[in-house]
Amino acid sequence: MPLEILTPPAVEPVDLTYAKTFLRVDNDAEDALITDLITAARFRVEALCGQAMITRDVGQMFELHGEPILSLSAMPVQDIIAVRTVDSAGNETVLPAEGYALNPRCTPPRLTFTDAGRLALAQTGAERAVIEYRAGFADAPAGVPMPLRQALLLLLAQSYEHRGDEADRPVPMMVDALLMPYRWMKL
């Protein structure tokens, strides 16, 4: 079930000016470094909570073994772009929208095949499904929950302060506390 980023986020959840204000940096000498650290902090926050902060398009491939329920990895899911099936010869078939249903409220979000979709899978001899979907809280920073942006800023400050250090730094307790409501656990 590899996940592929088809369209990366257009912006970061925190812009350079806001980050520099938070870090109390008043010159432009380290703008490139701070920009890179913002991106790295976003990756870390998203990995820690399993949620996409800024909207991006992703693709995910599934092996079909008779299971009509597919768990999508990137959350929150905004919309399904396309569902394609692939048979043993590599032929692709686009499944119409009435062939599947999305439940974005469960964790992780699930795509299920309707009766029409299961019939199409059987008729085409599908062995794999490729789901393209849009995931993320929002297109712009204002739509990203403040606790996630705050966690990003704290990780950014930690990386900025300790840049060049060889030691791995633990996640600050405040970051853990901010991310707790956004994490999900598999039981």
- Condensed to tens digits (0 to 9), the pLDDT of residues 38-54 reads 999 999 999 999 899 99
Total domains in the fold of the chain: 2
Question: For the whole model, what pTM was predicted?
Answer: 0.86
Give the per-residue pLDDT at 126.
87
Query: Which residue in the block uniquely carries the two structure tokens 């925190």?
Result: 14
121 and 72 inside one domain: yes
Phi first, then psi, for residue 46 (nearest 5°) are -65, -35
- Among 65, 66, 133, which Cα is nearest to 97's? 133
Q: Is residue 187 part of a domain?
A: no
Tokens encoding 116: 């029409």
77 and 130 inside one domain: yes
150 and 127 inside one domain: no
Give the per-residue pLDDT at 67.
66
117 and 154 inside one domain: no
Order of strands across the sheet that contains 3-7: 3-7, 56-63, 126-135, 77-87, 92-94
Give the per-residue pLDDT at 130.
94
129 and 62 inside one domain: yes
Q: Which residues of the chain have pLDDT under 50?
A: none
Q: Are 118 and 64 in contact (CB under 8 A)?
A: no
129 and 144 inside one domain: no
Give the per-residue pLDDT at 187.
58
For 83, the domain range is 57-135
Q: Is residue 1 part of a domain?
A: no
66 and 38 inside one domain: no
Give the per-residue pLDDT at 186.
64
